[in-house]
Amino acid sequence: MFSARKTGIGAVLRIIRIACLAIACFAGGSFHAQSLEAARMAYDAGDFLQAASMAAELNTADGYALAADSLAIYGYHIAAPDREREDIFARATGYGLEAVRLDPQNAQAHLQLAHAMGRYAQVVGVIEVLGNRYVTRVRDAVETAAELDPESAMAHLGIAVWHAEALDKAGIIARLLFGASSAKVLEHIDLALAYGPELKIVQLETGYSLLLLSERRYGDRALRLLRAARELPIGNAWDEFLHERALKILADLGE
């Protein structure tokens, strides 16, 4: 179970969600019979492994997308050994692929496939990353999500982050080989903020992407976005992880 601080509004919300989840489970009689909403309740409460299990058992595109998301978050924020993370991210990628297979027109399926593949690429060797084209597959997945849902803040955020990370890690090589572009970062940051200004993840990652692009040129705007992320309310367990990340980045910037 999620083991973050038990104080503040976030903890109260989590206790309420856990109680609601328990009621739903007793009413339904079995975890196996629970709806996608019950899986989301487990996700919000921070029980990401249970959420993944419940969601995958639904055998739907939305269920597999949620399962991929849950495992990717669990693997990145909670799981410890690199070997364990590799296995978790591989499973998450499998769920993402199944979500896309079941419903190729589902933007969330493509988003969570990109999320899982991106995390997997972080823990495996560069040879496997390049050999399996993870860099371009992640880009293609988020771009497909944006095509399917042009007003998805998360899709535009995914594109902005992909370009920013690629440029930060590979510079001119990323431009030449993968088409990474600072103009794309700025364009999709603006779109993500236009469609999802209330999302903590949007404020956080747009700010961080600007820092990756150029702290000298975009540092002031990045700072405003990161402060906004810090001030937004904590809505669920994942938001608590995001909140801690925002605080850490701000601390590194001298806040």
- 1-149 maps to CATH 1.25.40.10: yes
The string of pLDDT tens digits covering residues 168-200 is 988 998 899 899 999 999 999 999 999 999 999
**Over residues 56-84, mean pLDDT:** 92
Which band of pLDDT confidence, cut at 50, 70 and 90, is reported for residue 132?
low
**Over residues 122-141, mean pLDDT:** 82
pLDDT score for 244:
97
Q: What percent of the chain has pLDDT over 90?
A: 75
| Mean pLDDT, the chain, integer | 88
pLDDT score for 102:
98
The string of pLDDT tens digits covering residues 71-108 is 999 999 998 777 789 999 999 999 999 999 999 999 99
In 3-state terms, what secondary structure has residue 225? helix
Q: What percent of the chain has pLDDT over 70?
A: 84
pLDDT score for 239:
97
Q: What is the largest CA-CA distance in the chain?
A: 57
Does residue 53 have a pLDDT over 90? Answer: yes
The string of pLDDT tens digits covering residues 204-241 is 999 999 999 999 999 999 999 999 999 999 999 999 99
pLDDT score for 174:
87
**Beta carbons of 171 and 164 less than 8 angstroms apart:** no
Does residue 202 have a pLDDT over 90? Answer: yes
Does residue 31 have a pLDDT over 60? Answer: no
